[in-house]
């Protein structure tokens, strides 16, 4: 079925792990919003992130990316297919700058030891604060951070 959803026109059978600009929107007719596909896993490998890991990475990125890119992050959200995340950034920030910020968060947040280091995992701040996996998140961020370093070095 044809669809206007940008990611539905991407062939997921050949899609590799990576950091992709998926669409650019214009808010108010001129202000750019860029939607990135942060693909942690290649769909064809069928090695999906667990809900616990996804939720932990979601909290870490949502919090720390906003510190790295003040006023720029509109939204950071998991993909329902469990292979990655969507990041929407406003303004004219270059893709490279965004990738560098994500790589820094990966590097800085991939050695956590306890739940308290994850922002917002309380009953007041989150819908399911017991859904987390520190080791899984450390591993996923270390792996994705290494991939970004590779891409940035090219």
Would you say 22 or 55 has its CB closer to Zn ion? 55
In the region spanning residues 124 to 143, those forming contacts with Zn ion, defined by CB under 5 A, are: 126
Nearest approach in angstroms of CB 120 to Zn ion is: 6
Question: Of 126 and 142, which has the nearer Cβ to Zn ion?
Answer: 126
Per-residue contact flags (x/-) with Zn ion for residues 108 to 127, judged by CB under 5 A? ------------------x-
**Looking at beta carbons, which pairs linking 101-104 to residues 24 or more positions away fall under 8 Å?**
101/65, 101/68, 101/69, 102/19, 102/38, 102/61, 102/65, 102/144, 102/148, 103/145, 103/148, 103/149, 103/152, 104/68
Query: 82 — phi, psi (to 5°)?
Result: 65, 25
CB of 135 to Zn ion, least distance (A): 18
Residue 62 engages Zn ion in binding (rule: CB under 5 A): no
Task: Write the DSSP symbol of residue 15.
Answer: P
Residues at the site binding Zn ion, with contacts judged by CB under 5 A: 126
């Amino acid at each position: 079925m044809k669809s206007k959803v940008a990611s539905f026109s991407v062939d997921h059978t050949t899609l590799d792990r990576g950091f992709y600009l998926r669409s650019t929107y214009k808010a108010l007719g001129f202000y750019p919003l860029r939607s990135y596909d942060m693909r942690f896993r290649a769909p064809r490998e069928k090695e999906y992130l667990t809900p616990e890991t996804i939720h932990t990475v979601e909290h870490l990125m949502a919090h720390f990316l906003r510190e790295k890119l003040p006023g720029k992050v509109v939204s950071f959200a998991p993909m329902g297919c469990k292979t990655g995340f969507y990041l929407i950034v406003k303004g004219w920030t270059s893709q490279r700058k965004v990738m560098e910020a994500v790589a820094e968060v990966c590097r800085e947040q991939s050695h956590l030891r306890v739940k308290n280091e994850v922002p917002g995992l309380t009953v007041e701040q989150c819908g399911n604060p017991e859904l987390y996996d520190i080791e899984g998140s450390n591993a996923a961020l270390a792996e994705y951070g290494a991939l970004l370093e590779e891409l940035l070095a090219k």
